[in-house]
Every structure is written in C-alpha cells, then in structure tokens.
Structure 1
C-alpha cells in the first residue's frame, strides 16, 4: 500500500500571533461633572495594561489606574461642557474613539438590582437636574423611583444611541397607581425624550429599556456590556434650544398669511398649532441660484420638517422631506425659472404643533464647497512598508480647486506620498511610507487640505472621519472628528511556510 512519507527534515507549520491593539467599546460612566475626579471603567479588550490615552478635550486629565480596565479622569473646574473623544493606544495601535461627556450637573450611577418596579432606585430630581449613568446589559431593564408633586413638570432624556451604544432605547413613566402616563422612543435620533406634568402627587416609577439596533427579528429587551447610557432628569419647564437666526418668524411683515423676507436670510420659526403650515415670501430673479435649508433635528429639536418651494403662480417646484442621514430637508435651486415672488411652505411631517415644534430656515447663495472624508481614523504603519489613506472628495456648487494634502509633524523616517488631487478628482488615495529605520511611535494628527489657485494655496481645511454610516438613525453626540491616529511599529516577521509533503 502506498502512503505519504514525511521527510526527516519536516518543519511543522506555526502561526505567529500578532499582538492586537486596545479595543475600547465604551466608557462607564460615560461622563462626569466639572471639578470632579472619578474612576471610569474602560469596557473592551486589552492584551496589555496600562495603555496610553489621548483625548481632544484640554479640560480632561486621564491616567490608567493600577487595576486593569480602570481609568482615573480628572475634570477641570472650568472645563468646557461638551462631549469629548477618548482613545486608548499602545505600541500595536489605537482603539476607536469613544465619547465622554463633561457636564455641570450632579452625577450618579445606577445601582443594581433595579430590574423591576419593587427594586426601583430612589432618585431626587431637582430643578438643577441630575444625570444617572447606567449600562443596559443583555435583556436588562432599569427602574427608578421619583417623587413628584401634582403640577410639577418632569423632563427626562436618555442618551444611549447618541453615545454609540448599539441599542434603541425607550423610557416609560408610571404614576403612583401604576398606570403608564408617558412613553418615549425616538426624538431627533433613536434616543427618547419626554416632558410630563404630574396630575397627582406621589412616587412615580421611570423605566428605561432598549431594543436591538440595528433592528433584530425578535422583539425582546436588548443590551450588552457596552450599552452605556446617560439619563438626564430635571424638574420645571425644559430649557429651550437656542437658535441663531437673523429674524424670528412672528416679527416679519405679514402679507396675506405669508411672512415677507429678503434673501439671503435665516429665520427662526415655530409650528404653534396642529396641522399648521408656515408660509414665507421672497423675491428672486430668473436664473439666480439659491440654497434652501431647514434645521430642526440638527439642533436637537423634535420637529420633522417638510419643505416646499412654489412658483409665483403657485405651482410646485420641489417638495423635500429628509436629506439623510438627518431628518431635515434641504434643496439647491441652481436656476430660478422666472422673476417674481416665490413661496416657501414648511410643516411637520406628522402635522404636530406646539411650543417644542421649532425650526430654522436659511436661504443662502451657494458657494463652492469641499468636504474631504477619510475612510478610517486610526492607522498602523510598519517599518519598511506603506499604508493607504483613502479620501472621498465631496465637491458642491462648482468646486473645482486642485488640492494638496499635508500632515504636520510627521516623525523622522515617515513621509506622505501622492498627496495631490486635480480639480475634478472625487477621490484620492494617499500613501504613508515608513523607512526601515523609522522609530516606533504614536502620533495624533490631522490631515490638512490646501486648495490651490494658480499654483498657490489659498484656503485650508482638515479631512474628517465621519461616524455616521448607513446604519445610523440620526446624529450622535459627536458625528465626526478631524483628529486621526498613526502608530509606527517594527515590521512583523513573515509567517513561516508550511513544509510540503513529499511522496516516496
């Protein structure tokens, strides 16, 4: 019988396991109060500890604690109250950036067990507000007990999707008799928000739970070890969103039920009544170009606006609902069809009305515009090798400038190649190259975009990495970043090939 025979010099195959960079899924708590120092759990996978840490917020001082997966975050008393980005990195590369929110409200954490109404955690909601940090683990739901007096107004908002948690959260409120008096799901994104005025005094129970995002076939409570949330509660009327605009709708001249305005212009409007349609008049010349934009979801408002533009004779030119990834409409008219007074109509998609249903209408002259979107926000470059930076060049309104790309402060032995794009290019692939003797390093960096006219750079901007994608359902607390990360490290040894079998 014939059989295969291995030679005496047979080399057994092996796989060299390459060390992986830190994997940061979330931070818990996902925020803190100015002037405080807190311990934060870094949720994820870390083969080595401690790691190094980067943030885009000057008011944060972050250090790894002795205990693995723990960070000490000190927040300066005068730190800007905004969401910050944090990433962990080591010699093997960087994690994705995650959100940590700086607030000026008292903060606390959920206390388990609080999985049903009898275990509800006591909270003291005040006019100044409180923020509860929690995690919705697999099949989890959290309950909180809040005492309300008749006539008091409770404002509740949960940020979970906004933080990058892969859940679709809900809030429900039960009155002292156990009846559901408020239910909230989506607002300007997947996160819930409600305002409720108590009709009786006594303890009310607030529940937070979530479904899967992206949606799953099974309708069950969803969650994970990284499904962090921030639940903000306050008593009293909600603080209105400040809208920057040239005019308020009600102060514009009324012409037969329409508000007269002169473009370019921006107007703050409100849909006060159910089914209300706001109308605006403006004069335009034949052939003129105008950009129309209605902002509501971008401003964190619940309005889902619809925009329509009519000819001077009343015939419809264009109706626009959503311009993804937002639920806000926009329209570019490159050439108005005739001289005359045009009418803009704005209404809520679901014909709702009331004080929260606000928006901003802006009419501007379109200007050439460039947005450079990079495919990743962290890169690993081995010595004596290259890595690619791929850009999408979104040009609008006739933008046709040639471009030059630069990275300031590249370490010795690292160079940027193919850093040019013609005026018609819609994509660009840049090459980072490291020499054999390039030192190991980690570098936060920004990719500068220089626009050229007649061979001279005239304007610069930065490429951005967008966190929004096809699965996004509205804005995050941070939608994009200019800050990228580069790790330069020694080239990995080649994997040894498996020896071939020989036949006798």
Structure 2
C-alpha cells in the first residue's frame, strides 16, 4: 500500500511538473501560414509550433499588429502600412521566439485551394493580378493555378519562399498552356526563388505551376514538400518592378528610375524615401506597382551609365559610385581612376543584393595592364568586396565582370563603389534573446569589430529598457577592446524589445547599433529581446 501511494505521489509530481514546464516554456513557432497579407486587412495566421494562452506578439515597424486568439495570430495591417517584410516575435512571461518573417503586399490575396496537383484541375483564380499564399505540404505536392490572359498581356509570376520566408525549398515555376505544354519556366531567379515574365500569344486560360526540390540537396529524387514549405506567389499583368536607378536633378530631391514590366508613366520615376535609421538602402514602393525594390542611397557622387551612352566618361574621384551594366557575354566593365600610393580603399560591387543577375568579380590593373588585385563572391549568390592599397601613384583601372561569363541582358546591372577605407567599427551580438531572474544579472558580450585600425574607445548603452532594468558595463582590459561585456539586472518581471547602442564620446557620427545575424536567413536584426522572469517559488 505504501509503495502504491508513493507511486501515485511520484506520478502526480512528474505529471504536474511536466504540465507546468510545458505551460511555462517560451513559445516555439517554426513558421507562419499564410506568411503575409494585403494592406488594409486582418488575416488569421496559423503559427506552427507551440504557444499558450498567455502568448503575445511583437511586430517590427509601424502599421502592423498581431494578437493571439485560439492558438492563431490575428494580424492586422493598416491601409497605409509600407509594403515590406515585417518581423513577428511571439513571447510570454518565460521567454521569446526567434523572429519570423511576414510580408505586407499591395495586391488582393487568396489562399491556395487543394486539390490542385493536376493542371487539368487547377485552382481557378478570379483574375490575373493576385498574390497566392500556398504550401507544398508533402513530398510530391504540385500546385497549379489557372490564370485568364488576353493576347499580348505580359504576366509576371514571382515566388517568395526560400529567400524571404526561409522556406526549405528550391522552387520551380512554370507557365503551361491549358492542355499542359510548358511555355515558360524558371528557377533560381532570386537565389533559389523563381520568377518569370510571360507574354500570351492568344486569349485563353494559362496554368501557373509550382513545385520544388529541397533547398539542401539530398540523395533522393523527388518533388519536395512539408508543412514548413510555405510560399507567396505573386501573379500580375500590372506593374512589377525589377530594379531602380538613381536620378540626380539639380536642386531637386533624389528620384529613381524604375525598370521592370508593365510600369506606368506615373511609376517610372519615383521620389526616393529616406532610408530607415541605420540602413544603407531606401525601399521604393508605389500603389500602382505590385512589389518593392531597394536602392542604395549614397552620401557621395553617384554616376549612372547603364545604357552605355556616356562615351565621354566623367572623371571619377574617390569616393564615388557607378551604376552600370555588362554590355555582352564574357565582357568586363572598366573604370579608369587616378590613385595615390598608400591610399587604403574598399572596392565593392553589388548586384545580387539588389536582386540582379551579376555574380561580380573585381580586378584592379595598373598602368601597364598588370593585374594587382582580384576578388570574387565569398558565397553563392553573393557580391564582392576588395581591400586595395595602391603600391604607387598613377593611373589604375577597376574591372568588374561576371564569375560565370554572363552579360548582355538588361538585368546584368551592378553598382561599383570605390570608397576610402576609413577607420570605423560595427557591433554584433551572438544572440537576440536573453532571459534573467530578478536580482540575478546576465552578461552579454558585445563584439566590437574594428575596421581599418579603428582605435577609439567604444561606450555601450541601451535603448528601450525600463527604469527597473539596470545596465552595467565591465571595464575592458584595454581601451581598444574587441569585446565589451555588459550585464543586465532587474528587480521585477518585464519583457520587451531593446537595442544596444555604441557611441564615441564627443563624436556623434560614430553611433552604431549592435546587430544579431539571424541563423535561419541572411538577415540581421537590431531588435533584441529581454525577458525578466518571475522569481522561483520558495
């Protein structure tokens, strides 16, 4: 009898402890479906993973909010919200989840209807301008959508999955005739995400077909799918932007020339908004255009010669930027510049970061055509950067080409940036979420990445913490420390977003924000999270 009672007590303890642990655990959300919404709507979103009734949702940016209801998120997007990728973080009193992407668009949205594997029985769309929220939910899954087109209409089909939503797929996109013939197909347009533009030769119904392979290749040969394989498929015969070129007009705000498909006159030249704090790119949007495009905003001279019409090249002086294009396959675009011995330079070529086609190689030649420096992308679908110090005064040429011999298309556009390599720094942290118990401090190492022999003393402070959270900075062993360690202490429970700010005393131009490199994507975030949990019960 005693053994039986002990067994009951032990069982109750284990079950009670397990139940308490599950309830008390932080949310664990793996992905969202649908993964976006149109401006001016409220959308019910399934948050795959675990969350409890106390879970709340923090959203980056302005104009988007989310609440938890019956195990799902109700995401409300304001009519004037900026079309972009927002980040959602689920949290409760015990901790927070990693950030999850949520895309705000301008087109009407629908959710995929199954079954639609067979092109003869597709999900019939009401029109030719829509964003479809879909999911390849199992191995072998194929999704087909019927789109009505008129002769001469150009349909742009663009899939957001791996690059934006961290979906584990290498997508394939096809346009079929009503009787199943493949008329156009694409993969790997933006990284692993496909995009195509198709012009109908006659009136009729056409089929947009989506399937995928695993983003991380394996030994199997199959169409890939799982609950996490979510996507957003934009289909439009309206305006769709590809890239933008800066336009400088005397005594006028900066504008951008938008290149793409079906762009109306009102959308071809847009006013460039101010870049977000700490960001080098402005995001261009227009109510008549289905998507957004980034444009790097430069603090120095920026030249544009994409159409190769500038036969009399300007005199380039460091620092400068040049947006240009590879005129033919296998060619290089050369820029002549006069440099001084010992002048430390940083030379960057960006194309992939702008969603364009060049995989850039940088080469530097001296006056005798001897190559003195070279750099290529450090990773697949990456851009290039080269640190170069001229060994002598004189004339040099900087050449940019494509790693795979590309060139000649309208999309072989890139940006050359030639900058002085001035001393500077940035800050990084190894995590974006921290949890502490009242009265028990936690330490956060902040890495100071010193560039070009930057030697100034960096001071760390915090933005967004309440009065009850105290920040202390451990005195570095040396003034030019590579790591500054801070500690946070709190007196009572609290949770919220905060930022760590680096400053140099008396020099406001050196203010920098610590960023965390997200492990599931190429994105970084400055929005860190602190949870001060309740003290343990005695």
| TM-score above 0.5, yes or no | yes
Q: 2:495 — aligned with what?
A: 442
Q: 2:168 — aligned with what?
A: 166
Q: TM-score, structure 2 length as denominator?
A: 0.79
Q: 1:109 — aligned with what?
A: 111
Query: Does the 8 Å contact 2:161/2:232 carry over to 1?
Result: yes
Q: TM-score, structure 1 length as denominator?
A: 0.85
Mapped to 2, the partners of 1:483 and 1:109 lie a distance apart of 31
What are the Cα deviations for residues 320-374 of structure 1, in whole angstroms up to 9, with x where unaligned?
Answer: 22034751111111x2012222112222223232111111111111222222111
If you compute each CA radius of gyration, which structure gives the higher value, 1 or 2?
1
Aligned residues: 468
Which of these residues, 400, 406, 414, is aligned with residue 346 of structure 1?
400
Query: Does the 8 Å contact 2:363/2:375 carry over to 1?
Result: yes
Query: Does the 8 Å contact 1:441/1:489 carry over to 2?
Result: yes
Mapped to 1, the partners of 2:515 and 2:527 lie a distance apart of 8
User: Is 2:511 aligned against 1:460?
Assistant: yes
1:195-214 matches, within 5 Å, as: 195-214=197-216
Shift of 1:383: 2.7
Alpha carbons of 1:468 and 1:306: their partners in 2 closer, same or farther (altered >3 Å)?
farther
Q: 1:430 — aligned with what?
A: 486
Query: Does the 8 Å contact 2:119/2:180 carry over to 1?
Result: no
Alpha carbons of 1:350 and 1:203: their partners in 2 closer, same or farther (altered >3 Å)?
farther
Q: 1:248 — aligned with what?
A: 304
Query: Does the 8 Å contact 2:464/2:499 carry over to 1?
Result: no
Query: What SS does the aligned partner of 1:298 have?
Result: helix
Which of these residues, 38, 42, 49, is aligned with residue 37 of structure 1?
42
Mapped to 1, the partners of 2:325 and 2:519 lie a distance apart of 28
Shift of 1:107: 1.4
Mapped to 1, the partners of 2:464 and 2:179 lie a distance apart of 64
The higher relative CO (CA closer than 8 Å, separation ≥ 6) is in 1
Query: Does the 8 Å contact 2:424/2:452 carry over to 1?
Result: yes
Mapped to 2, the partners of 1:354 and 1:420 lie a distance apart of 55
What are the Cα deviations for residues 24-59 of structure 1, in whole angstroms up to 9, with x where unaligned?
Answer: 22222211111222222222211x214212111220
Query: What SS does the aligned partner of 1:446 have?
Result: strand
Mapped to 1, the partners of 2:239 and 2:42 lie a distance apart of 31
Q: How much is the aligned-residue C-alpha RMSD, in angstroms? A: 2.9
Q: 1:379 — aligned with what?
A: 434
Query: Does the 8 Å contact 2:192/2:215 carry over to 1?
Result: no
Mapped to 2, the partners of 1:369 and 1:85 lie a distance apart of 29
Query: Does the 8 Å contact 1:152/1:236 carry over to 2?
Result: no
Gaps of 5+ in 2: 247-297
1:22-171 matches, within 5 Å, as: 22-46=27-51, 48-65=52-69, 67-68=70-71, 70-124=72-126, 126=128, 129-139=129-139, 140-161=141-162, 162-171=164-173
1:358-397 matches, within 5 Å, as: 358-397=413-452
Query: Does the 8 Å contact 1:156/1:232 carry over to 2?
Result: yes
Query: Does the 8 Å contact 2:35/2:102 carry over to 1?
Result: yes
Query: Does the 8 Å contact 2:120/2:178 carry over to 1?
Result: no
